[in-house]
Amino acid sequence: MDAPINAYSFLNFLAYAGTGIGVLVLAALAVSMITPHRELSLIRAGNTAAATGFAGTLIGLALPLHSAISNSVSLVDAAIWGAVSVVVQLFAFLLARLVSPKLSQQITEGQIGAGVFSAGVSVSVGLINAAAMTP
């Protein structure tokens, strides 16, 4: 009987998980750089709106990364589709700011509704983005 986990499968796991987490971290940093408000500083200060919005961003980024990794034919393919998902999420945030121009200011002021709206946009776009990455 074959072992359920062998060295080859474990190394593949490490490669895909490392790539996914790496893309997620880089994407979160990219989102933080394009937002006028400073999410991490606001979160450290106890701003629930910023925490909610940023949590939605992370989920919205992770959903298509999951799909990219699940449906990829190689590690490079997963990384490329992961990068595509990041661009789509960045575009979604910019679009949300067009719909709600004071979004960053409202998040900075701790308005929960703004954080929930931002999170909702990120998760919604992430779900659509993930669904579009199926073979």
pTM of the model: 0.89
d(CA 133, CA 71): 7
Is the pLDDT score of 85 beyond 80? yes
Mean pLDDT of the chain: 91
Tokens of 19: 């790539």
Q: How confident is the model at residue 16 (pLDDT cuts 50, 70, 90)?
A: very high
Cα gap 135→51, rounded to integer Å: 34
- Give the pLDDT confidence of 46-56 residue by residue, as tens digits: 999 999 999 99
Residue 70 CB coordination number (10 Å)? 13
Whether 106 shows a pLDDT value over 70: the answer reads yes
pLDDT band for 22, please (50, 70, 90 cuts): very high
Q: Can you give the three-state secondary structure of 68-134, one letter per residue?
A: HHHHCCCHHHHHHHHHHHHHHHHHHHHHHHHHCCCHHHHHHCCCHHHHHHHHHHHHHHHHHHHHHCC
d(CA 29, CA 14): 22
Average pLDDT over residues 19-44: 91
What is the residue extent of each domain of the chain? 7-132
8 A C-beta contact, residue 93 and residue 34: yes
Work out the number of other CB atoms within 10 angstroms of the CB of residue 115.
Answer: 25
- Tell me what percent of the residues of the chain surpass a pLDDT of 70: 98
